[in-house]
A and B are shown apart, each in its own frame.
Chain A
Amino acid sequence: MRAGSVLIGVAFANLVWADVGCNAEDEEALQVLRSVMPSGHAPSFAARAVVQTAVGSQQIMITRGMPDPDGNYSVQIPDHSSDCDNLSHRLLLEPVDSCGVARWYKFRVERQPLGNDAATVITALPKDVYRHGFQLVVDEKNAIVLRSTTFSGSSALENVELRALSLGPETEVNREGFRSAETSSEATQQTAKESTYAWSLGWVPAGFEEASSSDTAVAEVQTYTDGLSTFSMFIEHPKGDIRVGEGVVNRGATLAYTRGLQTKDGAALVSVIGEIPINTARMLVESIEWSVRAE
């Protein structure tokens, strides 16, 4: 009885906390996040990304809107075109009710010297157990995230840091990456495998909204984001029966949770990929609702 009262009290406190409006620190954090959100006006750059995970560190050349200055191979950062609807803008920033993503994360903002300028350190602490925490070090002058750390409790899961950053000319970023991201979904949509039953998520953690959906040759895909973290659901419909079970692996902050299910439509293999805790992934799969697909 007493434990129940405590739980109700905690839940109520969380609700109250979640509904508290923006404070000055939240607003400052949202302002900085607005500047680094992917958009067609983001600065082009090339950098060496040092990715540290539990299994070691790797260095990767990444570029946005420009080729690698040394002509080496680099991973291109995809970007929105300037006129595309960016869901994260709405989730993060638009104060529809209270203050965007600050409803789900408690923000702390600090300043650190960065050469002659200052870097802003934004720490986002989750207000519930359904998401991880993040820390972003932002070069405000150039609106580039210099370092991101994903953590669960007091443990860092992944640290990505940009080094040897070289800025490109101040032009609108190359939109090819964005276009290719769009067209790839369109191309694969035609090869989607139709299942008799449609599926939807009966539950998502508060604040997450569907960002995109597509069908590939092997899976139906839906991606959700709360403005900071993202997860994608991939559902395959293999033939025959399936031995139900689950498996989970991590690569840094990215979780892959795979579950075999027997549904009304036969076997289904559901995979959740994202920067979310394992229990959230489990609950998402548990919440899948199957319904007869409309003709």
Chain B
Amino acid sequence: MSSKQNTEINNEYDELLSRLMDGDLDEFSTNRLLKRLDQQPSLRATWHRYHLNREVLLGTSASAPGLSIADRVREELIHTGARPLRRQYWFKVLRPFAVAASVACLGVAVGLQVQQDTNSQSATIASSAVPTVRSMPVMPLDSAGLQAIPASFGQTQVMRSPAPVPIEGLYQELARQRLELYSQQHATEGALHTPVTLMTGTLARAEAESGKR
């Protein structure tokens, strides 16, 4: 490994260390850093220096000097809120999915009721890349847009959902899904009766067949 690469790696770990000090490091990177701390003395020195600096700034004294660096990091994680950090991390990661899920919930309001069967229609639905809504409750959100969602550690947290998707957008999506679902049947039926649909249905039949395959 070249010295340049070494320098880049060290810089990367310095950055991770700095983020750990700021409480802004995810769990995966923390574990990676812990492994590295046990292996790299210079990194331990940096970690120690960061702590000294912080203690000077905050006017506190160093504690538990006998602990290994890795142990101190772990202790740090425990005392400075490892679980909140993890929750914050997972919240960041999952937030986009929560938004998507909320939109999907809205989609459910006007969604398709598909019976649990194994016929070819269902197979088409299952094989479609389009997420297909399978039940039909009505308007899952209350007027304030509040929705109770299960949070970590068995608690319940109330989140404000994103603004409701306009109904026009949902129906556009429904129309798109119906085109995916039904155009092959239409094309096959129409091709039996007219030369025009025989030709225009080519694309629908091709897409449906490729979906099955």
A201 at the interface (CB under 8 A from B): no
Known: A38-B191, A232-B186, A234-B182. A251 touches B203 (CB 8 A): yes
Partner of A232 from the list B175, B189, B195, B200 (CB cut-off 8 Å) is: B189
* Contact (Cβ within 8 A) A225 B109: no
* Contact (Cβ within 8 A) A230 B189: yes
Complex: how many Å from CA A3 to CA B170? 39
B193 at the interface (CB under 8 A from A): yes
Complex: how many Å from CA A91 to CA B110? 37
A191 at the interface (CB under 8 A from B): yes
B103 at the interface (CB under 8 A from A): no
* Contact (Cβ within 8 A) A145 B199: yes
* Contact (Cβ within 8 A) A251 B183: yes
B206 to chain A, nearest CB (A): 4
* Contact (Cβ within 8 A) B113 A62: no
A residues 123-143 near B (Cβ < 8 Å) are 134, 136
Residues of B within 8 A of A73 (CB): 209, 213
- Mark interface residues in A222-252 (1 if CB within 8 Å of B CB, else 0): 0101011111101011111111011111011
Known: A191-B115, A221-B185, A245-B170. A229 touches B194 (CB 8 A): yes
B27 at the interface (CB under 8 A from A): no
Known: A75-B209, A217-B114. A160 touches B199 (CB 8 A): yes
- Mark interface residues in A75-113 (1 if CB within 8 Å of B CB, else 0): 101111000001110010000000000000000000000
* Complex A-B, nearest 7 residue pairs according to Cβ-Cβ distance, in ascending order: A247-B171, A230-B190, A256-B179, A247-B175, A148-B199, A238-B136, A271-B178
Q: A217-B122, A257-B175 are in contact. List 11 more A-B contacts (CB 8 A).
A: A87-B193, A136-B195, A218-B112, A218-B115, A227-B193, A238-B136, A239-B135, A245-B167, A247-B170, A273-B182, A275-B197
